[in-house]
Amino acid sequence: MFTGIVAAVGTVRAAKAERGGHRIVVDAGRLGLKDVAVGDSIAVNGACLTVVARKGRTFQADVSRETLVGTTGFSAGQRVNLEKALRAADPLGGHLVSGHVDGVGTVDRTKAAGGSRLLAVAAPSALARYVARKGSIAVNGVSLTVNEVDGAVFEVNLIPHTLAASNLGDLRAGDKVNLEVDMLARYVERLRETGDELTQ
C-alpha cells in the first residue's frame, strides 16, 4: 500500500527481457535504500514492484508480462517516480494507493498557471466513470486531486513542489501515463452491483 506521495525520482538503468517479462535495474536517486530488503515493495511510476536484488544506489525488480501490458512500461533511461511501501506509523499525505495500475491515459494538454501547471489527461473509457471532480487519482503514482472532468478528460493542478519532486513536469501532449483510480470508487461500484444482484 502507498500514499501517492513521491519520495524521489529515479532512472531505469537497464531493462532486460526475460522469460515472462523483464528484469529492470533502477537507480533510486535520492530514495534511501538502507531499510529496503529483498522482497520489499517499491512503487515505480505507480506500479508496485518487488525488490529482487539491491546494490548500492540501485535495486532490481522483475516486471511481469501483465504489468508490461497494463502500464506505460519501463525502458532504459526513463525517469520514474519512486515511493516505498507505507508503514503503519507513516502519515497518509495523499490517498490510499495500491500500486495496481488500472490503465494507461494520454496527456491531452498542459498549460502554465502561474508557478503551477495544469495537466489534462484522457482516461480510457472503462476508467473514466471512476474519476470525479474533487476526487483522487494517481498519475504515474502521484496522488492528485481532480479539478475538472469533461467526459473522459480530467484536469489536475501540479503545484511547484509536485513539478520538482516528480516526473510529471516532463509530460507533454500525447505522452502516456499510468493511472490508478480511487479504490473507494471501485468498492462503491462493487457494492452497488452486489446489492442489485441480491435484490433481483
The confidence band for 87, taking pLDDT boundaries of 50, 70 and 90, is confident
Predicted confidence (pLDDT) at residue 135 exceeds the cutoff of 80: yes
d(CA 115, CA 195) in angstroms, rounded, equals 46
- What are the residue ranges spanned by the domains of the chain? 8-84, 103-190
d(CA 59, CA 48) in angstroms, rounded, equals 14
Domain 8-84 has CATH 1.10.260.40: no
- According to the model, what pLDDT value does residue 19 have? 81
d(CA 54, CA 78) in angstroms, rounded, equals 19
Average pLDDT over residues 144-167: 97
- According to the model, what pLDDT value does residue 103 have? 96
- According to the model, what pLDDT value does residue 68 have? 94
Q: What is the dihedral of CA 96, 100, 103, 109, to 10 degrees?
A: 50
CATH code for the part of the protein at 103-190: 2.40.30.20
Neighbour tally for 7: CB within 10 Å: 20
**Whether the domain at 8-84 and the domain at 103-190 fall into the same CATH topology:** yes
Predicted confidence (pLDDT) at residue 200 exceeds the cutoff of 60: no
HSE of 137, CA atoms in CB hemisphere, 13 A: 34
Predicted confidence (pLDDT) at residue 91 exceeds the cutoff of 80: no
pTM of the model: 0.91
